[in-house]
């Protein structure tokens, strides 16, 4: 039975002591012999960690004692082996780079739709008002190639900073539709949904918790293939088990 607990979690929240927090979190993670990547920025935190379940949960519990992170709710999956080679804690300009500084999710999120609702909408082919529903993949092209929702809009972007221009080029195609933006764990589709609303699209939502939460809370219907993850597991299936192996330091 897989015994390595893998978690991913993020939160957009103002962090004004990122450098000091970096040292604290790195020391704590190393003490627990965890591996993975934590990104810190003024806009928030984004983390991917793996290790024995008790140690991972101890780390999360300590982090949640900080009021800024009290409501962190990590997504969990399991693996036979440690998928990360080292422990990194980095301070960045953004925890997910969009190069669009007016998008500040900590000041107000776009509406989020729980996985069960998205599944129901896709089952019936429209939202609860009868409006056509489309899913919009905000990930990079190589991630989409690993798997995605059936019929998802895919603009073949190679990095997230290309999303704003791609969205504006296709804005008219999205009008009069209910758009559900999605990504691996929620962080990219959260920024994407805010931007689309700012650009005048009224019926835009983000998939709460991303693909991984959709796998966790539904049977994975309407999704084909695996969900690419940035560690040696390469991709996870709807059962949150590894579908392949990748050797990479990227996280």
The whole-angstrom separation of Cα 176 and Cα 174 is 6
| Pick from 187, 191, 192: nearest CA to 170 | 192
Contact 28, 99 (CB under 8 A): no
**66: left (phi > 0), else alpha (psi -120 to 50), else beta?**
beta
Torsion of CA 124, 127, 131, 134, to 10 degrees: -80
The whole-angstrom separation of Cα 47 and Cα 69 is 12
The whole-angstrom separation of Cα 161 and Cα 77 is 28
The DSSP bridge partners found for residue 240 are none
Torsion of CA 100, 21, 138, 104, to 10 degrees: -40
183, 187, 195, 236: which is the annotated catalytic residue?
183
The whole-angstrom separation of Cα 98 and Cα 146 is 23
Q: Which residue has the tokens 């939202």?
A: 127
Contact 113, 135 (CB under 8 A): no
Our answer to whether residue 183 is catalytic in this structure is yes
Report, as residue numbers or ranges, the catalytic residues.
183
């Amino acid at each position: 039975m897989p015994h390595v607990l893998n978690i991913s979690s993020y939160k957009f929240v103002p962090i004004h002591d990122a450098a000091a927090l970096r040292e604290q979190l790195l020391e704590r993670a190393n003490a627990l012999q965890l591996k993975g990547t934590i990104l810190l920025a003024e806009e928030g935190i984004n983390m991917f960690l793996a290790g024995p379940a008790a140690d991972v949960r101890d780390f999360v519990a300590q982090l949640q004692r900080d009021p800024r992170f009290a409501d962190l709710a990590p997504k969990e999956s399991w693996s036979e082996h440690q998928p990360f080679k080292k422990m990194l804690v980095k301070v960045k300009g953004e925890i997910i780079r969009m190069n669009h500084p007016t998008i500040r999710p900590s000041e107000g999120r776009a509406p989020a739709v729980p996985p069960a609702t998205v599944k129901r909408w896709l089952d019936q082919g429209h939202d609860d008002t009868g409006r056509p529903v489309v899913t919009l993949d905000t990930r990079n092209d190589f991630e989409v190639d690993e798997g995605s929702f059936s019929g998802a809009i895919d603009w073949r972007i190679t990095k997230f900073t290309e999303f704003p221009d791609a969205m504006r080029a296709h804005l008219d195609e999205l009008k009069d539709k209910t758009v559900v933006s999605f990504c691996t764990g929620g962080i990219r589709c959260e920024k994407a949904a805010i931007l689309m609303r700012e650009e005048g699209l009224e019926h835009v939502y983000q998939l709460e918790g991303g693909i991984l939460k959709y796998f966790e809370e539904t049977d994975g219907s309407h999704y084909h293939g695996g969900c690419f993850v940035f560690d040696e597991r390469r991709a996870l299936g709807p059962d949150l088990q590894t579908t392949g192996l990748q050797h990479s330091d990227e996280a």
